[in-house]
Amino acid sequence: MAPRHGRLELHQVGVTEIKKPISVRRADRTVTLSASFGVSVDLPAARKGSDLSRNAELLAELVDRTAHAPVESLEAACQSIARELLVRHPYASESRARASADYFLPRGIAPDRESLEDYRLLAEARAFRNGDASVRTRRRIGAEAVGMTACPCAMENVRERLSGEYPALRSAELQGLPMITHNQRNRTRLTFELDEGVEVEADEIIAAIEAAQSSPTFAILKRGDEARLVLNAHRNPKFVEDVVRDLLASIPQRFPMLPDGVEVIAETTSEESIHKYNVVAEHRTTVGQLRAGAAA
Amino acid sequence: MAPRHGRLELHQVGVTEIKKPISVRRADRTVTLSASFGVSVDLPAARKGSDLSRNAELLAELVDRTAHAPVESLEAACQSIARELLVRHPYASESRARASADYFLPRGIAPDRESLEDYRLLAEARAFRNGDASVRTRRRIGAEAVGMTACPCAMENVRERLSGEYPALRSAELQGLPMITHNQRNRTRLTFELDEGVEVEADEIIAAIEAAQSSPTFAILKRGDEARLVLNAHRNPKFVEDVVRDLLASIPQRFPMLPDGVEVIAETTSEESIHKYNVVAEHRTTVGQLRAGAAA
Amino acid sequence: MAPRHGRLELHQVGVTEIKKPISVRRADRTVTLSASFGVSVDLPAARKGSDLSRNAELLAELVDRTAHAPVESLEAACQSIARELLVRHPYASESRARASADYFLPRGIAPDRESLEDYRLLAEARAFRNGDASVRTRRRIGAEAVGMTACPCAMENVRERLSGEYPALRSAELQGLPMITHNQRNRTRLTFELDEGVEVEADEIIAAIEAAQSSPTFAILKRGDEARLVLNAHRNPKFVEDVVRDLLASIPQRFPMLPDGVEVIAETTSEESIHKYNVVAEHRTTVGQLRAGAAA
Amino acid sequence: MAPRHGRLELHQVGVTEIKKPISVRRADRTVTLSASFGVSVDLPAARKGSDLSRNAELLAELVDRTAHAPVESLEAACQSIARELLVRHPYASESRARASADYFLPRGIAPDRESLEDYRLLAEARAFRNGDASVRTRRRIGAEAVGMTACPCAMENVRERLSGEYPALRSAELQGLPMITHNQRNRTRLTFELDEGVEVEADEIIAAIEAAQSSPTFAILKRGDEARLVLNAHRNPKFVEDVVRDLLASIPQRFPMLPDGVEVIAETTSEESIHKYNVVAEHRTTVGQLRAGAAA
C-alpha cells in the first residue's frame, strides 16, 4: 500500500563504490589510479525516481575513456562528472561526484634510497544549476599522508626522570640531547575547497603534510638511516595539535596563488603507541584567515 | 625550528576508538553494549595543548561505573560525558562525545521463531558553554537496521517480458501476481538531532526503519517462512528513494511528541544484487517540515 | 632481562601491507595494478633477527621497475620476489610473497553496454631451498568475482504458495514460469596451487567463476537489460553449494592443460537478502580428483 | 540446465557473521560479550544442500539462552554448538563453530589508575563423528592484545650516532642510559589448540602476551606515568622476532598443566612508526617442543 503523503524532495540519490581505473597525466608521465567513485544528484518532489542507470553509464563513458585520453587530475575528472550529471539528470539542481584512490610518489631519506611511497588522494566536485541554466562548480582536493609523530610532553617528563637517575645528564655538554618518548604512525589529511578555475597540485598537498609531521616515513631504511630518521623525529616532537597548526600555518607561503576565499580543512590522527586508542585534531578555516594570522 | 606564526585555535582535539562496555537500563532488563567512544573539545589559540589524558580518565569514570549503575541510554551517557568534558577542560567552549555499539532486539517472522537480531546504535552529544557559564547540550540519537528491498522497476519490466512469453499471464485471474525482480540487503539509518530534555527511544527508531524497507529480515526462517518473507517484500517493492521518503513520512505519526525543531536525517544504502556497486539516498529535514508535508 | 631459553626458529618473519603500483603485460595492453604485498622468510634458531629492511628494498627494486618493464603477471612477480628473498636472506630455507590487487575487465550484457567491471586478483609464491642449494617454487593464482545467486528453495516454496492463491498458475501454459525468490550478491573465489612452469590465466579464472554463479552482474543495465539479467538468474537458481560444485565441475573442461596434481580451492559467500548474515561454502581438491569425478 | 557431473562432497557449508550477545561466567562476575559467530559442517556427495536454517536456529537456542544461563567461556559455547551441529545435520561427519568478541579486563599502570582495557577473544571448536557414532572435539582458544614494542636495533644505532655528537655519553656514569628509538603499537595473538577436557583461561593468555611485548599500554596515563611506561618499554626493546620467541618461551612456566600435545600458535604485528607498512612474525609449535627447548 502506497503511503498517503505528499512526496518529499531528496538531497542525494546516487551510486557509491563504483571502482574504475583512471589514467591521470602528470608532469612527466601518465599514472593509472585504481579509484572508487560515488555520484549523486538531488531529486525534486515531483519525480518518483532518479534514473540511477545513467550514473554508471556516465562513469563508464567519462572514466573508461581516460585509458586513451588521460585527464588532468582526479578532481578534474570529478568536475566533468558533476557537470555531466546535471546534463543527464535534467530535473536535478545539484550534483556531486567523489573519488578516492591510492597514489604513489618517489621518496627516499637519501637519493639512492628512493622508492614509491603510498598516499591517498581524495577529490570531490559539486555542480549547481544557476537560475539562468548555467552551471557553477565547487571542488575539493585533498590528500592523506602517513608519517610519524614523537610526543613532546613525555619527552620532557622522561628528561626529568632520567636526570634524577643520571645526574650527568644535567651537564652543560648534554644540553639539547634528544630524549626518548613515545612515537607513532600519524595520518594527516589536508583538503582545499575551491571554486572552478583555481588549481592545487596534489603533490604539493602531500609535501605540506609531510613537512608538518615530526618526520615523513620511508619504505627503505638501512640501519644508519633508521637512526637518522628517528633522531630527526625526536628533534621535532609534535602533538596532534602542533601538526594541524603547523600545517595550516604553512599554507600562505606554500600556496601563495590561492584566493582568500578558499576553504581549508586539516585533520590528523596519531595512532598512539602508549594507548590502544587514537588521538585526533581537526580545524577548518580559510586561506584568508590563515594569511591574516600569519601577518599578525 | 618552531614555526613563526600566531597560534591558531582548533575546532576539535580529542581521542577516538576508545572501546568500553556500557550497561544500559531498558524497560525490562539491563543490557551491556560493547561501545566505541570518541570525545573532543575545541582548543583556544592561547593554549598549546589539550590535556588528552583527562579524556580517558573521564571515560573510565563515567562508563566503567555503569557496570554497577546502568545509564538510561547511550545518548544519556554521551550527554554526561560532553558536560563533564567542559568541566575538565575549563578553557574549552564546546565539547563532543560520540558512541556507537551493536544492539540486539528480539524479532521473529512468527512468535515461535524469535531470536535476537542485530542493529547498530549511534549517539552523539555536544555541549556549549553559554556566556553566563551555564551549559546547553544538543544530542543525536540514531540507529541503523539491515533489511531488504525489492526493485519495483525491474519487476514491471519482467512482467512485460514474461507476458510476451506466457500470454496467460495477462488473464484477469493473474492480475496482481507478484513478479520476480532483484532484491537485496538494505541498510538504513535514521538520526534525530534534538535539544536536551527531548527523548527518542532507539527501539522506536529501529521499528520505524524496518517498516520503511520492503521487508525486515530474520535469522530464523523455516522453509515456509522464506516464501512468506520473500512474497511480502515483492508485494512491497521499493527504490532507495521510497525507503527514505516512506521513513520520513512516517515520523509525524510515529513520534507525535517531538517538537517541530527536531532535525531528522534519513540515509539508506541498497547493496544491489544486479550490480557490484551500491545505490544510496539521503535527506535531512525537520519534524516541523515533515508535519507540514503530511498536512498538505 | 633477556629470557633464559634456547632460541626458537620462527616460521615466518616479514613485512605486510606494502602498497606498490605494478605494471602487468596483457595480450593487447599493459595494465597498472595498485597492489598490496606481503613477504616473509623463516628464521633459524641461530639467528637473532631477520634483516627486514632487505624486504622493502627488494620490493622497490623488483616492483618499481615494472613501470618500465612490465611483468607477465602478478604471480610471476611474486615468484621472482620469493626467489630473490632466498638470495637476500641466505640463512632462510623458505620464503613467501603474496599480492592482491583490484583488476578490471571489459564486460557487458550486450556489446554496446560494455564497461570495466572490477574483480580482485590474489597471487602467492613460495620458494624452498633444496638440499643441493637449488630452489623450487610453488605458486597460487586466484581471483574473486562478485555476481548474483537466486535461491532455488524459496522459489519452489513461493510457487507452491502462489499456486494456492492463483490456481491458474497450475495450468499447462504456465509450466516453467520462473517464480520470485530471494537473490543477492555472491562473492566467489577460485584459487589454483601449482608448480613452477604451469600457467593459469586470471581472465580464465574469472570467466569460470562468472559461469558458475546464477548470473554475472554489470555496471550498465538499461531497463530492458535489468529484466533480462534478473530472468537469467531466476532461470538458473543456485545454492552456495551449487556454485562451488558447478565451478569445480567446470574445471576439467575449462583448464584441460593443467596437470592432475594441481590443487584447487573454491570458496563462495552469498550476502543473503533475507538474513543479516552470510552463507558460505568451500571445497579443496585436485584437478586429478575433479577429472576422476567427471569421468564417473 | 543442471551440470552433468557426479556431485562433489564439500568440506564446509555454513553461515558466517551472525552477531549475538553471549553471557559468560567469570570468577567473580558475569560478562556479556558482543560476539560474531560462524558455523559450518561438511556435506556428503549424496546430499544436495545443507539445511542452513538449522544453523541460525541452533545459535538462537544455544546463545540467546545464555542471557539467563551464562556459559563457562566462549570456547565452551563453541564446543556445545559444534556438537549440536552434528546432531542437527545427521549426514555430516565434521562441524566447526567459531566466535570472536571484544573483551575487557581492568588494568592500570598503578592501582589507582585502573580502567577497562580492550582485548579480543577468539574461539573455535570442531567436532568429528567417530566410527562408533560417538563424537570427539578439538578446541582453539586464543586472544589478542595490543601493546607496544621499541626497536633494539635503531636504539643501538642512535647510541652510536649520538655518542659522536655528545662524547660525554661515553662516560661510565651514563652506561645503560636508555636511548631513543622508534616504538609503536604491537598487536599479538596467542592461540592454543587442544583436546576436549583441557582448559586454558583467556585472562592467562592475555597476561602472557602483555609480558612478552616491550610494554603493555594503558588508557589512563597521567604525565609521570607516560615517562614510566616509555622508559619501561625502552629498557625492554624487542623485535617482532623477540615478541614471538619470548611469548612461546614463557609458556612452559605459565601453563604447567597443559599436555605436551597441545598446539600453540603465536603471531605478532608491529605497526612500525618509521614505515607505512607492518612487520610480522609467526610460529606454530607444541607445548612439548617448547618444554624440550626450555630444558635444553
Which of the four pLDDT bands, split at 50, 70 and 90, describes residue A67? confident
Longest Cα–Cα distance of chain B, Å, equals 85
A109 interfacial to chain C (CB closer than 8 Å):
no
Phi, psi (rounded to 5 degrees) for A136: -120, 155
C250 interfacial to chain D (CB closer than 8 Å):
yes
The whole-angstrom separation of Cα A167 and Cα C11 is 45
Q: What percent of chain A has pLDDT over 70?
A: 98
Q: Please tell me the distance in Å from C21's CA to the nearest CA on chain D.
A: 15
Nearest to C3 among D18, D246, D284 (CB): D246
- Contact B241/A3, CB-based, under 8 Å? no
- Contact A8/B294, CB-based, under 8 Å? no
- What pLDDT sits at residue D6? 63
- Contact C178/B162, CB-based, under 8 Å? yes
User: Which residue is it, cell 556497486?
Assistant: B277
- Contact A182/D230, CB-based, under 8 Å? yes
Question: Taking CA atoms, what residue in B is nearest to A296?
Answer: B6
Q: Which of residues 187-216 of A touch B (CB under 8 A)?
A: none
Series of mean pLDDT values for 10-residue runs along chain D (296 residues): 64 96 90 96 94 92 91 95 96 97 96 95 97 93 98 95 94 92 98 93 97 97 92 97 97 97 98 98 98 83
- What pLDDT sits at residue C161? 94
Residue A227 CA: distances (Å) to CA of A116, A210, C221, D181: 21, 19, 57, 7
B116 interfacial to chain C (CB closer than 8 Å):
no
* Count of CA atoms in the C-beta half-sphere (13 A) of D70: 13
Segment holding B145, helix H or strand E = strand B135-150
- Contact A53/C20, CB-based, under 8 Å? no
Q: What percent of chain B has pLDDT over 70?
A: 98
Q: Please tell me the distance in Å from C71's CA to the nearest CA on chain D.
A: 23
The whole-angstrom separation of Cα C128 and Cα C119 is 30
Segment holding A294, helix H or strand E = helix A287-295
User: Can you tell me the mean pLDDT for A185-198?
Assistant: 95
Report chain A residues whose CB lies below 8 A from the CB of C116: 20-21, 60, 64
- Contact A284/B11, CB-based, under 8 Å? yes
User: Can you tell me the mean pLDDT for B42-51?
Assistant: 93
- How many residue contacts between B and C have a Cβ separation below 8 Å? 153
The whole-angstrom separation of Cα B154 and Cα A52 is 13
- What pLDDT sits at residue C296? 65
Give yes or no for residue A178 having a pLDDT over 50: yes
The whole-angstrom separation of Cα A30 and Cα A22 is 10
The whole-angstrom separation of Cα C215 and Cα C225 is 13
Q: Which amino acid is at D228?
A: R
Give yes or no for residue B296 having a pLDDT over 80: no
Q: Which three cell numbers stand for residue A164?
A: 634524577
Tell me: the pLDDT tens digits for A13-30? 999 999 999 999 988 889
Give yes or no for residue B1 having a pLDDT over 50: no
Whole-number average pLDDT of chain C: 94
- What pLDDT sits at residue C294? 80
Tell me: the pLDDT tens digits for B197-247? 899 999 999 999 999 999 999 999 987 899 999 999 999 999 999 999 999
**Cα angle, residue B193 at apex, residues B189 and B199 outer, rounded to 5°:** 95
Q: Which region holds residue B86: left if phi is over 0, alpha if psi is between -120 and 50, else beta?
A: alpha
Tell me: the pLDDT tens digits for A158-167? 999 999 999 9
- What pLDDT sits at residue D262? 98
**Choosing among D33, D220, D221, which should be mutated to test the B contact, i.e. which has the most B CBs within 10 A?**
D220
Q: Please tell me the distance in Å from B69's CA to the nearest CA on chain D.
A: 15
The whole-angstrom separation of Cα A186 and Cα D1 is 56
User: Can you tell me the mean pLDDT for B184-190?
Assistant: 98
The whole-angstrom separation of Cα D104 and Cα B250 is 40
Give C129: exposed, middle or buried? Use CB within 10 Å, 0-12, 13-18, 19+: middle
Per the CB < 8 A criterion, the answer to whether D224 and A280 are in contact is no
Which of the four pLDDT bands, split at 50, 70 and 90, describes residue C68? confident
Report chain A residues whose CB lies below 8 A from the CB of C21: 31-32, 104, 116
List of chains touching D (3+ CB pairs within 8 A): A, B, C
- What pLDDT sits at residue A115? 93
Residue B43 CA: distances (Å) to CA of B8, B94, C265, D84: 9, 9, 55, 57
Lowest mean pLDDT among A240-244, B263-267, C5-9, C73-77: C5-9
- What pLDDT sits at residue D294? 80
User: Can you tell me the mean pLDDT for B18-27?
Assistant: 93
pTM across the whole model? 0.96
- Contact C293/D240, CB-based, under 8 Å? no
Q: Please tell me the distance in Å from A261's CA to the nearest CA on chain C.
A: 36
Tell me: the pLDDT tens digits for B246-271? 999 999 999 999 999 999 999 999 99
Which of the four pLDDT bands, split at 50, 70 and 90, describes residue A3? very low
Tell me: the pLDDT tens digits for B80-136? 999 999 999 999 999 999 999 999 999 999 999 999 999 999 999 999 999 888 999
A235 interfacial to chain B (CB closer than 8 Å):
no
Give yes or no for residue C1 having a pLDDT over 60: no
